[in-house]
C-alpha cells in the first residue's frame, strides 16, 4: 500500500489526510483548519506546512487549490485572495516542505479521484465532473484523460458567471429553495450538454449527498449521477497527483 498526503485548499477550509493511493481511501478522518483571512499565499502556505508536518507519511505531497494551475503557477483566483495570481505555488511549497509537491486545480483533483475510484470509474467518452459548493468547479475527461483547467463555473449563464446562480451555497444559505436551485442547475447542465455531448455528468460537492432530493428536477438528456467520494475527492485527487511524481 502506498500512502501519500493530499491537501485540499478551499475558500473556507484547508483539509488534509493520508491517502492509500492504490485503493483511494483516506486512512483516517481528514484534518481541517479554517482558511486564513485574508487568504494570501503565504498565510495558506503556513497552514499547508502545519498540516503536512502532522501527517506520518513521507514522499511527495499533492496540493489542490481553487485556481487555474499551469506548470505549478496559479493563473487565477476563485474564492481566494487575488495575490495568488502569478504565484509559483509548486516552487514555494517544494521549498517549504523540502519534498516534491504536485499542485493542481481543486476541481481537477476531485475529478481525478472520481474517475479513478468513484462514479466515473471505467467510463469512456466525454465525462464532466462538476463540484457545487461556494462556487462551481469542473473537470473534463476524454476516455479517462483529463483536460485540465476548465472553468465551467465562469461560463455566462443568466447574464452572469454560472456559479453566481448555481452554486450550492445559495441553498445552504437559504437564498433560494432546493427546487428553484435545481431547476436553474438543470438549464445550466443542458447548456453544457449542447456544447460537449458528454456521456456522463458526475454531480459533486457536499450537496451531492442530497442528490435523491433534487435529481427529479434534472431533465438534461444525459446520464447524471452523484459523486461517490464527495468532500474527500479533492484530498484523494491531490494525493493521486503526488503519486504521479514517484
Q: Does 139 lie in the same domain as 216?
A: yes
Within this chain, do residues 131 and 69 fall inside the same structural domain, yes or no? no
Residue 139 β-bridge partners? 129
Q: How confident is the model at residue 12 (pLDDT cuts 50, 70, 90)?
A: confident
- 173-228, pLDDT tens digit by residue? 999 999 999 999 999 999 999 999 999 999 999 899 999 999 999 999 999 999 99
List the domain range (segments joined by +) for residue 93: 3-108+233-243
pLDDT of residue 240: 98
Q: Is residue 93 part of a domain?
A: yes
Judge whether 87 lies within some domain: yes
* CATH code, domain with 195: 3.30.420.40
**Domain assignment present for 113:** no
d(CA 76, CA 68): 5
Residue-wise pLDDT for 126-184, tens only, equals 999 999 998 999 999 999 999 999 999 999 999 999 999 999 999 999 999 999 999 99
Question: What does the pLDDT read at residue 79?
Answer: 81
184 and 151 together in one domain? yes
**Quick one: what percent of the chain has pLDDT higher than 90?**
93
103 and 174 together in one domain:
no
Judgement on whether residues 239 and 221 belong to the same structural domain of the protein:
no
Residue 233: name the closest of 75, 153, 122, 119 by CA: 119
Same-domain check for residues 198 and 151: yes
Asked if residue 237 and residue 210 are part of one domain, the reply reads no
Average pLDDT of the chain to the nearest whole number: 96
What pLDDT score was predicted for residue 57? 87
Q: Could you tell me what percent of the chain has a pLDDT over 70?
A: 100
Residue 231's pLDDT is what?
A: 84
pLDDT of residue 246: 84
Count of domains for the chain: 2
Amino acid at each position: 500500500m502506498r500512502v501519500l498526503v493530499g491537501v485540499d485548499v478551499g475558500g473556507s477550509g484547508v483539509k488534509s489526510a493520508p491517502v492509500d493511493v492504490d485503493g483511494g481511501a483516506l486512512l483516517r478522518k481528514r484534518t481541517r483548519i479554517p482558511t486564513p483571512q485574508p487568504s494570501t499565499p503565504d498565510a495558506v502556505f503556513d497552514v499547508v506546512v502545519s498540516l503536512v508536518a502532522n501527517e506520518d507519511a513521507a514522499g511527495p505531497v499533492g496540493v489542490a487549490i481553487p485556481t487555474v494551475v499551469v506548470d505549478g503557477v496559479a493563473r487565477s483566483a476563485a474564492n481566494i485572495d487575488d495575490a495568488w495570481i502569478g504565484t509559483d505555488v509548486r516552487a514555494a511549497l517544494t521549498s517549504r516542505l523540502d519534498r516534491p509537491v504536485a499542485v493542481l486545480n481543486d476541481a481537477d483533483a476531485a475529478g481525478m479521484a472520481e474517475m479513478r475510484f468513484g462514479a466515473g470509474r471505467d467510463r469512456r467518452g466525454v465525462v464532466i465532473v462538476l463540484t457545487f459548493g461556494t462556487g462551481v468547479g469542473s473537470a473534463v475527461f476524454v476516455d479517462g484523460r483529463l483536460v485540465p483547467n476548465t472553468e465551467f463555473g465562469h461560463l455566462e449563464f443568466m447574464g452572469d458567471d454560472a456559479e453566481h446562480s448555481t452554486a450550492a451555497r445559495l441553498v445552504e444559505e437559504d437564498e433560494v429553495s432546493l427546487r428553484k436551485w435545481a431547476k436553474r442547475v438543470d438549464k445550466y447542465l443542458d447548456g453544457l450538454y449542447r456544447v460537449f455531448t458528454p456521456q456522463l455528468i458526475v454531480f459533486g460537492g457536499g450537496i451531492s449527498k442530497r442528490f435523491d432530493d433534487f435529481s427529479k428536477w434534472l431533465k438534461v438528456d444525459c446520464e447524471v449521477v452523484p459523486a461517490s467520494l464527495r468532500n474527500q475527492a479533492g484530498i484523494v485527487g491531490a494525493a493521486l497527483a503526488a503519486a504521479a511524481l514517484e
